[in-house]
Chains A and B, each alone.
Chain A
Amino acid sequence: DAMVIQNPRYQVTQFGKPVTLSCSQTLNHNVMYWYQQKSSQAPKLLFHYYDKDFNNEADTPDNFQSRRPNTSFCFLDIRSPGLGDAAMYLCATSRDAGDTQYFGPGTRLTVL
């Protein structure tokens, strides 16, 4: 089945230790998104790629970076995680801008 896959499902890191989260998709969608969701909060868009074009939300901290080496994969890099970065990180894809977004299962990040 075509799907959005996120690895790992759970990630524990230490304060200030860089961490990378991974997302892959078999849907061959053009657009890939990264959201941050804290407990009982709405998902918050961090950035997205339309093909190779990177679009950063204005309020996304510089601590967060992303890479999309090919159509299938997208990575979220947190350079120096703080305690406030503990959250669920969701990857989503859509065929084109404005189309329905399909989400992966998420990665739960814990910062010690």
Chain B
Amino acid sequence: EDQVTQSPEALRLQEGESSSLNCSYTVSGLRGLFWYRQDPGKGPEFLFTLYSAGEEKEKERLKATLTKKESFLHITAPKPEDSATYLCAVQAPGYGGSQGNLIFGKGTKLSVKP
């Protein structure tokens, strides 16, 4: 069964304290891995898509990497405004009407204290 597990469930950092969030997955034939940011009471905001092992993408203080079994979201020198829940989702090949469907993890809730 396709599955996505994110760790840790919650992470508290001091401003400037770099760290990484983990997304491990089991899926037959990964089509893509997506990272989203979700603020409380709002919809997920797209951050990155990764398609193949070894791929990396960066945006401001965030860097996403992908291996054959997991993805990391590295946060460098975080600021309080980076506080949010970070969701990982994988896209399996699917078939017919299920092509493109995403399987989400439960997310990592990040808190950055000044």
Contacts and interface: CB of A to CB of B under 8 A. Distances in A.
Q: Do A and B come from one complex?
A: yes
Taking residues whose C-beta sits less than 8 angstroms from the other chain, chain A's interface range is 20 to 34
A53 B97 contact: yes
A50 interface: yes
A101 B87 CA distance: 13
Interface residues of B, number: 25
Contacts of A101: 34, 46, 102
Contact of B34 (A6, A100, A105): A100
Contacts of B44: 43, 90, 103
A94 B100 contact: yes
Contacts of B109: 40
Q: Binding site of A, secondary structure by majority: helix, strand, loop or mixed?
A: strand
A68 B67 CA distance: 38
A45 interface: yes
B111 interface: no
Contacts of A105: 42-43
Nearest to A45: B101
A70 interface: no
A92 B89 CA distance: 14
Given A94-B100, A98-B31, A98-B100, A43 B87 contact: yes
A45 B42 CA distance: 17
Interface in B96-114: 97-102, 104-107, 109
B41 A42 contact: no
B100 A42 contact: no
Nearest to B99: A97
